[in-house]
Each structure stands twice: as structure tokens, then as C-alpha cells.
Amino acid sequence: MNAPPRPPASFPPRNGSGLLASFGHAWAGLIHTVIYQRNMRVHLIAAVLVGLVGSGIALGLAEKVTLIFCVLLIFFAEILNSALEHLVDLAVQQFDEKARLAKDAAAAGVLVLALGTVVIFAAILVHNWDTVRESTDAIVRQVALGLPLTACVLVLVLPRPRPVWVDVAAFAVGSGLMTFQALETASSVFSALTAGLLFVAGAAAYQRRREQSAPRRAA
């Protein structure tokens, strides 16, 4: 008599299923994408630059909403693309042309959104060129503070081995620059966006270190 088939293995339980836990899982998905997806890191740096421009030049409400929506839409598309890649890899254990086409199509969707955002960003700058010319002092200030701030974010998201103090210093310096920038910002919304992106970069650096040290603790 044949033995009854074994039931499929159940997924390991998550640490909670409430609303707060759901936010935690979503946050973990965002940080995972920043850590392991190169394009997401590129989008993060580009979003910091957009935030610096928006906080340095006085834009109208429509322009602000458009830029923020474009940034969030690209993030959403990149996260969705990452999820699709994992799903395809899980379902297809060997090379398949349709799997490659599915990944390429998802990546193409992100590329189209990114190119569209660049066009929209350029159109907004051209439309507000008089405002840009009148904001010379603010632009100089944004460049002086924004370039090292962007460098700090870049250091935090780069997947390179480095001492802990480098990440701590990059986050501390970035936070200080962000504070100075927020004192005379043209838009508190864009300053908040830039500060949030710095926090995401810091969280990604922290999580990367935790994952790298986990095998050592287990050993």
C-alpha cells in the first residue's frame, strides 16, 4: 500500500500580521531593493538631486506634485520589477527565453518611466527658467551643500566593504548638511523628501552590515 503524499511544506510564519507588521514587511522590501538592485541605487541618487533642485528653486504646486509623483512612480516601478525578477527566478529554475523576455519587458517599463521623468524635469526647468536665473544665490548654496550631501548618500548605498565609522560619518555629515539646507529651503516638502532618502540610504547601509555579519555570528 502506497504511503499518502506528504503535504507541501508551509512557509515560515512572519513576525506578526497586524498593520504595524505589514508596514515593517514593506519597509524591509524597500531596503532589500536598495541593497541588492543597482538601478534602485541609481534612482535613489537621482531622487536626491531632484529633491535638492526642488528645495532650492521656488516651483509652483503643479511642478512640485509632478516631480514628487515621478520620483515615487519610478521607485514603485523598480520595486515591482525586482519582485517580478524574484518571482520569475522562483518559477523558472533554468534558462527560458520567455523568462528573459518577461524580465526585459519589466526593465523596459522602468526605463520608459525614467526617461519620461528626465523629459518632465527638463520641461519644468525650461518653463521656470526666469525663476532659475533669479535664484543664483540659492543655486550656489544648493550646489555647495548638495554635492557633499549626495556624496554621503552615495557612500551609504555603495555595496563596498568599508569600516563602520565610514557609514557613521557619512550619515552624520549628511544629516548636518541636510539641517543647514533646510534652514533656507524653498520647499519644506522637497527638503523632507531629501531627508527621507538620506534615512533610507542609512537604513540600507545598516541592514547590509547586519546581513554581512550574520554568517560570522552563526559561525
Mean of all residue pLDDT scores within the chain? 86
pLDDT tens by residue, 25-63: 899 999 999 999 999 999 999 999 999 999 988 888 999
Least confident span in 84-88, 118-122, 188-192: 84-88
Residue 15: what pLDDT?
63
Banded model confidence at residue 138, pLDDT cuts 50, 70, 90: confident
3-state SS string for the chain: CCCCCCCCCCCCCCCCCCHHHHHHHHHHHHHHHHHHCHHHHHHHHHHHHHHHHHHHCCCCHHHHHHHHHHHHHHHHHHHHHHHHHHHHHHHCCCCCHHHHHHHHHHHHHHHHHHHHHHHHHHHHHHHCHHHHHHCHHHHHHHHHHHHHHHHHHHHHHCCCCCCHHHHHHHHHHHHHHHHHHHHCCCCHHHHHHHHHHHHHHHHHHHHHHHHHHHHHHHC
Residue 102: what pLDDT?
83
As to burial, measured by CB atoms within 10 angstroms (0-12 exposed, 13-18 middle, 19+ buried), residue 209 is middle
Higher pLDDT, 50 or 218: 50
CB 111 within 8 A of CB 42: no
What is the Cα–Cα distance from 150 to 201, expressed in whole angstroms? 11
What is the Cα–Cα distance from 194 to 177, expressed in whole angstroms? 11
What is the Cα–Cα distance from 64 to 175, expressed in whole angstroms? 23
CB 52 within 8 A of CB 178: no
Task: Give percent of the chain above pLDDT 70.
Answer: 89
Residue 151: what pLDDT?
96
Residue 173: what pLDDT?
97
Would you say residue 206 has pLDDT above 80? yes
Positions annotated as catalytic residues are 78
- Name the residue with cell 552563526: 218
Task: Quote the cell numbers at residue 193.
Answer: 523628501
Provide long-range contacts, Cβ within 8 A and 24+ apart, for 11-15: none
Banded model confidence at residue 215, pLDDT cuts 50, 70, 90: low
Would you say residue 3 has pLDDT above 80? no
Query: What is this structure's pTM?
Result: 0.86
Banded model confidence at residue 212, pLDDT cuts 50, 70, 90: confident
Residue 89: what pLDDT?
78
Would you say residue 152 has pLDDT above 70? yes
pLDDT tens by residue, 156-190: 999 988 999 999 999 999 999 999 988 889 899 99
Residues 6 or more apart whose Cβ sits within 8 Å of residue 182: 55, 188, 191, 195
Would you say residue 5 has pLDDT above 80? no
Residue 30: what pLDDT?
93
